[in-house]
């Protein structure tokens, strides 16, 4: 199981939309974990509060403090697809309960890494804004990849730079620590190269600015005609392919270490999909 954590430098850069969009075309089973200490938005936004909340991160944290969860983690998750391929570990409804998470993060991270069972499974963790009270630093330090989600404007990059530097200083470097990269919202290949040069880390992928398609994941709007082949979903499939290559390279680099197995072959990414 691989853990990909998504973070932002400021409110609303598109972390939740990016997480759900990538989950919708992830090539195998994936758990979307809302780990933002400020609380989760997916139940109220994407699901329009029409699906009863089942368990979630808080109940998983309470259970993990009593005994190892392992595959029992799925008992606290809500299915987002009828085939069980995409599940949600919903975030805090009451951010004042964040102290429970702070005490339970080591056990929760173990559960993330042990919950796969016999199925290929990954975790996409929406970790909210860096520097907020309760930022899950322990989760970031044990993730395989940490994606800093940002737009390429000068003001956004000015906010990103100090937080990125703090992450580089505070997290263990690869291969023990996570791969740090940027997930860019909007911009061309040339812009991505410029952003990488400015920040000193690679741009893992770029998602297109597509407000109509983003509204599907942010607010539960019905997909418009051509949604699956539109700019957002086309760029999302490309982003997932690039992330899978990054995760495979990381796994191969660790395959020769004692106690680590070589990764399974990466299957092709589906041509289209939806998180419903």
Where residue 270 falls among pLDDT bands split at 50, 70, 90? very low
Domains in the chain with CATH codes: 2-254 (3.40.50.300)
Prediction pTM value: 0.89
At residue 263, does pLDDT exceed 70?
Answer: no
Phi, psi of 129, rounded to the nearest 5 degrees: -95, 130
Quote the pLDDT of residue 82.
87
Q: Determine whether 24 is exposed, middle or buried from the number of CB atoms within 10 Å of its CB (0-12, 13-18, 19+).
A: buried
- What are 244-256's pLDDT values in tens digits? 999 999 988 875 4
Residues in a beta bridge with 3 = 123
> Environment class of residue 275 by beta-carbon count within 10 Å: exposed (0-12), middle (13-18) or buried (19+)?
buried
- Rounded distance, CA 111 to CA 60, Å? 9
Element (DSSP H or E) covering residue 79: strand 78-79
For residues 34 and 110, what is the distance between their CA atoms, to the nearest angstrom?
16
Amino acid 97: pLDDT = 87
Rounding to the nearest 10 degrees, give the CA dihedral for residues 84, 146, 193, 17: 40
């Amino acid at each position: 199981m691989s853990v990909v954590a998504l973070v932002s430098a400021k409110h609303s850069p598109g972390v939740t939309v990016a997480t759900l969009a990538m989950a919708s075309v992830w090539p195998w089973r994936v758990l979307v974990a809302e780990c933002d200490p400020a609380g989760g938005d997916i139940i109220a936004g994407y699901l329009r509060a029409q699906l009863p909340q089942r368990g979630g991160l808080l109940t998983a944290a309470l259970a993990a403090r009593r005994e190892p969860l392992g595959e029992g983690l799925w008992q606290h998750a809500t299915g987002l697809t009828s085939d069980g391929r995409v599940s949600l570990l919903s975030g805090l409804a009451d951010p004042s309960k964040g102290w429970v998470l702070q005490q339970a993060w080591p056990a929760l991270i173990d559960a993330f890494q042990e919950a796969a069972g016999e199925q290929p499974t990954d975790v996409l963790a929406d970790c909210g804004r860096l520097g907020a009270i309760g930022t899950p630093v322990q989760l970031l330090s044990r993730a395989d990849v940490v994606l800093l989600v940002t737009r390429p404007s000068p003001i956004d990059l000015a906010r990103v730079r100090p937080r990125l530097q703090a992450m580089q200083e505070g997290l263990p470097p690869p291969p023990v620590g996570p791969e740090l990269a940027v997930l860019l919202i909007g911009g061309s290949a040339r812009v991505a190269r410029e952003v990488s040069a400015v920040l000193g880390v690679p741009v893992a992928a770029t998602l297109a600015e597509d407000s109509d398609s983003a509204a599907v994941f942010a607010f539960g709007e019905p997909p418009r005609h051509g949604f699956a082949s539109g700019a957002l979903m086309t760029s999302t499939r490309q982003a997932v392919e690039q992330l899978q290559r990054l995760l495979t390279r990381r796994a191969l680099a660790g395959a020769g270490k004692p106690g680590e197995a070589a990764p399974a072959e990466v299957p092709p990414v589906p041509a289209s999909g939806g998180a419903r």
